[in-house]
């Protein structure tokens, strides 16, 4: 992917994270005190269990190193705005979903470089790739994640009416841009895309479904059975594919690493739809 496309992709992620910031208020972070168990379970799934599962799946499936590294990049990423939307539509706890997304986005600034470096060494061989500069990567991720979220939150704090009016257009615009980026990747790789889908489709779907299942059953294990369990399941299984594509293309400068995240970004709408169906049935049965 050329430099212009990389800049467009980074800009799209900036807009997406700005939109997330517009939906957040500072009280969202106080929910750590209100929902300590739900927050603990959700973050443990995202920050610890997800990378371990990603590594296990990438190691077990017979696939190319580029696909395995793409899966690990995905596993290193936090939830994204899409998970918040799906949680809302599924009658989950939207506030919990937003809080988990926000907290995991901040924490993974530190964990992403180490997990991605590990994946590069494990699946591509240390001598075959240029490893990420940890400090530089942290700064870059900070710029494209934390800064726009903070800007959005500041706008929401001082200009709430404007923020509420702009939240939907910003989400729509960012969704269109990332859709165009994914379409661009498909067109650019059209001669190989069927083959890529055959290689990455099952492994990406497995990661998605396995982590959603872990989220659901871990919630039940800790006796979280209300709408919070729906949000934990979705947050555990719907990752920020846009960020994964940005890391692959902008930071690692390798579009092949973006194949698995791009396919994942398509598949998660189908599994997300299943989660919405389940959530609506659960809400109807419980009268919530």
- Among 286, 164, 174, which Cα is nearest to 230's? 286
pLDDT score at 72: 92
Q: Residue 40: which residues within 8 A CB-CB, separation 6 or more? A: none
Integer Cα distance of 240 and 145 in angstroms: 11
Rounded (10°) CA dihedral 24, 27, 32, 33: -170
Does the pLDDT at position 65 exceed 90? no
pLDDT tens digits, residue range 190-199?
A: 666 677 778 7
Mean pLDDT of 210-237: 87
pLDDT tens digits, residue range 229-281?
A: 888 888 888 888 878 888 888 778 788 888 888 888 878 878 887 888 887 78
pLDDT score at 94: 72
More confidently predicted of 285 and 10: 285
Element (H, E) at 271: helix 259-286
Q: What is this structure's pTM?
A: 0.73
- Give residue 53's pLDDT band: very low, low, confident or very high (50, 70, 90): very high
Does the pLDDT at position 57 exceed 60? yes
Lowest mean pLDDT among 48-62, 135-149, 218-232: 135-149
pLDDT score at 64: 86
Q: Residue 252: which residues within 8 A CB-CB, separation 6 or more? A: 116, 132
pLDDT score at 138: 66
Residue spans of the domains in the chain: they are 3-276
Does the pLDDT at position 219 exceed 60? yes
Integer Cα distance of 118 and 129 in angstroms: 12
Mean pLDDT of 8-12: 67
pLDDT tens digits, residue range 179-213?
A: 666 676 667 666 666 777 787 888 999 999 999 99
Does the pLDDT at position 1 exceed 60? no
- Give residue 283's pLDDT band: very low, low, confident or very high (50, 70, 90): confident
Does the pLDDT at position 52 exceed 90? yes
pLDDT > 70: percent of the chain: 79
pLDDT tens digits, residue range 111-130?
A: 888 888 888 888 877 544 44
Does the pLDDT at position 178 exceed 70? no
CATH of domain 3-276: 1.20.1530.20
Rounded (10°) CA dihedral 259, 275, 166, 141: -40
pLDDT score at 31: 63
More confidently predicted of 11 and 77: 77
């Amino acid at each position: 992917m050329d430099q212009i496309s990389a800049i467009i992709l980074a800009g799209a992620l900036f807009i997406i994270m700005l939109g997330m910031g517009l939906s957040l208020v500072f009280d969202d972070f106080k929910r750590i005190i209100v929902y300590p168990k739900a927050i603990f379970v959700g973050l443990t799934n995202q920050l610890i269990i997800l990378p371990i599962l990603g590594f296990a799946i990438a190691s077990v499936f017979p696939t190319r190193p580029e696909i395995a590294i793409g899966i690990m990049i995905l596993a290193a990423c936090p939830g994204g705005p899409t998970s918040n939307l799906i949680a809302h539509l599924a009658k989950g706890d939207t506030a919990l979903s937003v809080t988990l997304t926000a907290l995991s986005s901040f924490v993974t600034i530190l964990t992403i470089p180490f997990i991605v470096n590990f994946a590069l060494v494990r699946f591509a061989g240390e001598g075959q790739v240029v490893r990420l500069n940890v400090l530089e990567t942290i700064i870059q991720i900070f710029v494209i994640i934390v800064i726009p979220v903070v800007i959005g939150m500041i706008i929401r704090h001082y200009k709430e009416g404007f923020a509420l009016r702009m939240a939907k257009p910003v989400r729509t615009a960012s969704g269109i841009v990332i859709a165009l980026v994914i379409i661009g990747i498909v067109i650019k790789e059209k001669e190989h895309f069927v083959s890529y889908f055959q290689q990455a489709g099952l492994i990406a779907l497995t990661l998605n479904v396995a982590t959603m299942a872990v989220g659901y059953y871990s919630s039940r294990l800790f006796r979280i059975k209300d709408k919070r369990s729906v949000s934990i399941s979705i947050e555990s299984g719907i990752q920020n594919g846009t960020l994964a594509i940005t890391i692959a293309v902008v930071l690692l400068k390798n579009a092949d690493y973006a194949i698995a995240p791009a396919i994942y970004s398509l598949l998660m709408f189908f599994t997300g739809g299943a989660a919405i169906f389940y959530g609506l049935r659960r809400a109807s049965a419980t009268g919530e």
